[in-house]
Structure formats: C-alpha cells, structure tokens
Amino acid sequence: MFSAIARIFRTPDLRRKLLFTLGIIAIYRLGVFIPTPGVDYGNVQRCLALGNTSGGVYEFVNLFSGGALLQVSIFAMGIMPYITASIIVQLLRVVIPRFEELHKEGSAGQSKLTQYTRYLTIALGLLQATTLVSLARSGMLFNGCQFPVVPDQHLLIILLMILTLTAGTIVIMWMGEMITERGIGNGMSMLIFVSIAAGFPSSMGAIASAQGWGVFAAVIAIGLLVIAGIVFVEQSQRRVPVQYAKRMVGRRTVGGSSTYIPIKVNMAGVIPVIFASSILALPGMLVQFNSNPEGPQPGWATWLGTYMSSSSPLYMAVYVLLVIGFTYFYVSITFNPTEVAENMKKYGGFIPGIRAGRPTAEYLQYVLSRITFPGSLYLGVIALTPLIAFVLINADQNFPFGGISVLIMVGVGLETVKQINAQMQQRHYEGLLR
C-alpha cells in the first residue's frame, strides 16, 4: 500500500489532483474558524465552554459543518443546504415528469438538474442563514447563554450576517464541484468526510477525560467492529445474471455476452438515516420554541421531552421504523425494475430462466424487496449505535463510531479508494488495495 501511495506522488497528474484536493480541504477547514461579521467570537467560545448548546437538529447540522455551526463562522451552513437540495431534486423526479425526462436525457439533462440544484441550494442557504441569525440573536442557539453572541443587532449588521452565511454556502458548493472536476473526484462527499473526521479527536478526547481509559478502549474496540461490519455490508451485493443474445448489426454479430446487475444490500446509502434524524429532531425544536422558563411546561411538551428524548425506548423504536420505511421509499424511487427490464429487452438481454418484459420486472422487484429488508435493518442498527452508547456509557454526542458519521466516512473512503485505483490502473499501476 505504501508503495502505491509513493507511485501516486511520482505520477504528475495524480499528484496534481491530490495536492489540489488537499489545498481545497485546507481552505475549507480554515473557513470553519473565521467568525461571521457581527458575531462576538469570544462570547461564542464562552458559551461553548459552558456547554450551553441546544442539541437536537443543531448538533446534527453541526456534525456536517465540521463544528462551524456552533462557531457561527462564515461556513456555518456547511454542506447541508446542498445535500437537502440534491435530495429534493431527486424526489421531485417522481412528482414532476419534466425532471424525470431530464434525468433520462444523459449528460445534457443532468447538467440542467445540477443547475436547478444550485439554485435551490442558494435559496435554502438563504433560508437557513436567516434562521441561524435569528437563533443567534435570541440566544436560543446556545440554550439561553447569558453572553450575547450578536452584540450589535442593527438591521444592516443582520443583513450582512445573512449575506455572509449564504455566500459561505455558495463557496462550499463551488469548492465541492472543483474537487469533482479538478481533484480526485466525489467533491461534496469529500467535504462531508473532512467535516465529520475533524470532530473525531475531540470526541475521543472527551470520552477519555470523562469516562476513563477503560471506556476509551471499549469505544475503540466497538468502533473497529462497527467499521468492519459497515465495510462488509457496503461491499455486499446480489448479482443478478444477465445474458445478451447474439444479433446482427450491419455485417457484424454483436451480443452473446454475459454480465450481471449488481443490487447492493444498502442501495439507499445514508439518506434514510438523514431523513429519520431530521424528522425526529422536530419534536425537540417544538419543545424548545414553546418552553416557558418562568412557569410550568405544557402537558404535550412534557410528554415529548420525556418520551421522545434520544434515551427513550419509544424514540429508538420510532427511529428504527422510520429508517426502515424511508429505506424502502428511497430505493423505490432510485431503482425502477420496469425501466431496467425495458432497457434489457431493448438490447436483447434477459435473465436466464425468466421471460423478458413484465416477468423480468416482477423478478427484479422480488429480489429488490428481499435484499432491501436486511439492508434497512442494518441501517437501523447503525443508527441506534450512538443512542445505545448514550444509555450504556453516557457518551451521547461524544460517541463517534455510529450512526451517520462512520457510515458516511467508510462509504466515502471506499469510493475514493476505488476512484484512485481506477486512475492508477489506467496507467498500468496496481491499486491501493490489492
């Protein structure tokens, strides 16, 4: 492996792409610590030192921003507006026929959908920036911290903060696209990877200082098991064999080859976990916005705070059910058995023992349903890992090996290694993993 890394740096093209990617990542991480104009950075650090964070959805967004959200920096929005916009555009393919037509048009249609995603990212960035500034002004971002985060609340200062945060979202989107075009590829995922990885040292340090080295060693052991399990499942797939009949094209005979359709165990990726986490963060936001510090809480707020907290068995059960439901939903809109069967029939392909056309679509749907069930259970178990860790060792947000974080890191790491391997094999080199 080390010899393969050395060959990467000896190859001018690969070295240039890797150094360009590292340069963009360095700029991205630098922006995390540049405060937004109008924010008192010293008071922000005092609030963080006191542990006055609201948790819930803010911790969730803070994970994807690499800690920039709770620093109220120029990159506080992180990559979340782009992720949300991408998911919305994908879902709109089911609702808007024009989007589905663009998806089938190839590169030209994909470019148009990418442009729509950019516009929607800017709109969502503006909306989320306005929400963040409002929370920072009111003190709700840091759970009523007494130190004012935005001392000067003049209208021009507020507008400058909103525009700066929105511009930060645009810059992050541009950096991700630059890594995709001129770097090693997979730009947006790389920025998410870096954001999550940046929080690992502090999380592990917090566990060691608060729980002791015995718990620290146990967390490391659990983390290695979780990573091994994720790698095993993410690489697992059901290969449906496909045979192409021979046919005449002009004077040539084409076809007659055998291939397969790879159906991954986890076709939905991390999207169902993001959906479920976002929905279950809403009750906490409702309780927070309707809290009355000077009087008794409403009955419904008390019930939500008791039974919909992350340590509640009801919360965990609803979480797993939402993950399973969203997994089936997302797989159904990203893999269309009828479309795959029609394309196979068009080019003379068939599954051995299955008639072309509708029987093939029904068979693919059967295989997809069977393979999606264990995949959804796997996502549910991974999503529950940090919640169980909170109950057992009181680690909660400091527990880094579980849920979305490791799932994204392992998936992006595997995809990046595959892309580097593909570029090395084009130059007749062995890949990173032999």
Q: Which residues of 401-433 are buried (b: 16+ CB within 10 A; e: fewer)?
A: bbbbbbbbbbbbbebbeeebbebbeeeebeebe
SS3 423: helix
- DSSP class of residue 141 equals G
Q: How far is CA 73 from CA 31, 143, 174, 189, in A?
A: 7, 18, 18, 21
SS3 300: helix
* Pair (251, 365) in one structural domain: yes
CA distance 366 to 363: 5
Show which of 141, 172, 198 is a domain's final residue.
198
Is 276 part of a structural domain of the chain? yes
* Pair (27, 1) in one structural domain: yes
More confident residue, 205 or 427: 205
* Pair (35, 98) in one structural domain: yes
The string of pLDDT tens digits covering residues 48-87 is 777 655 555 566 667 777 777 778 888 888 888 888 888 8
Q: Nearest-CA neighbor of 386 among 144, 194, 196, 212?
A: 196
Is 407 part of a structural domain of the chain? no
* Pair (142, 44) in one structural domain: yes
Strand partners, 237: 264
CA distance 336 to 351: 16
CA distance 413 to 416: 5
Is 418 part of a structural domain of the chain? no
Is 100 part of a structural domain of the chain? yes
* Pair (53, 132) in one structural domain: yes
Confidence category of residue 164, pLDDT binned at 50, 70, 90: very high
* Pair (157, 298) in one structural domain: no
- Domain of residue 27, residue span: 1-198
| Domains held by the chain: number | 2
pLDDT for residue 401: 63
Which residues are CB-neighbours of 139 under 8 A, at least 6 positions away?
Answer: 145, 148, 149
Mean pLDDT value across residues 179-183 = 87
Cβ atoms of 32 and 73 closer than 8 Å = yes
SS3 394: coil
* Pair (230, 156) in one structural domain: no
Show which of 151, 174, 198 is a domain's final residue.
198
CA distance 105 to 86: 18
The string of pLDDT tens digits covering residues 271-304 is 888 788 778 777 766 666 665 555 566 666 677 7
CA distance 248 to 246: 7
Report the percent of the chain where pLDDT is more than 90: 10
Cβ atoms of 86 and 99 closer than 8 Å = no
Confidence category of residue 174, pLDDT binned at 50, 70, 90: very high
Cβ atoms of 120 and 16 closer than 8 Å = no
Is 296 part of a structural domain of the chain? yes
Structure tokens at 354: 């299955």
Mean pLDDT over each residue of the chain, to the nearest integer: 80
Is 427 part of a structural domain of the chain? no
Q: Nearest-CA neighbor of 58 among 75, 36, 77?
A: 77
The string of pLDDT tens digits covering residues 25-55 is 999 989 888 888 888 888 888 777 776 555 5
* Pair (217, 135) in one structural domain: no
Structure tokens at 207: 């566990």
pLDDT for residue 399: 61
Mapping DSSP onto H, E and C, the string for 355-379 reads CCCHHHHHHHHHHHHHHHHHHHHHH
* Pair (146, 231) in one structural domain: no
* Pair (205, 76) in one structural domain: no
- The bridge status of strand 247-249 relative to strand 252-254 is antiparallel
Q: Indicate whether 101 pLDDT > 60.
A: yes
SS3 61: helix
pLDDT for residue 126: 92
CB atoms near residue 111 (< 10 Å): 11
| CATH number of residue 86's parent domain | 1.10.3370.10
* Pair (102, 250) in one structural domain: no
Show which of 198, 216, 238 is a domain's final residue.
198
Is 416 part of a structural domain of the chain? no
Cβ atoms of 186 and 79 closer than 8 Å = no
| Beta strand segments in 170-325, E | 237-244, 247-249, 252-254, 258-264
Structure tokens at 134: 């409002």
Give all strands of the β-sheet with 237-244 in edge-to-edge order.
Answer: 258-264, 237-244, 349-350
Is 406 part of a structural domain of the chain? no
* Pair (276, 176) in one structural domain: no
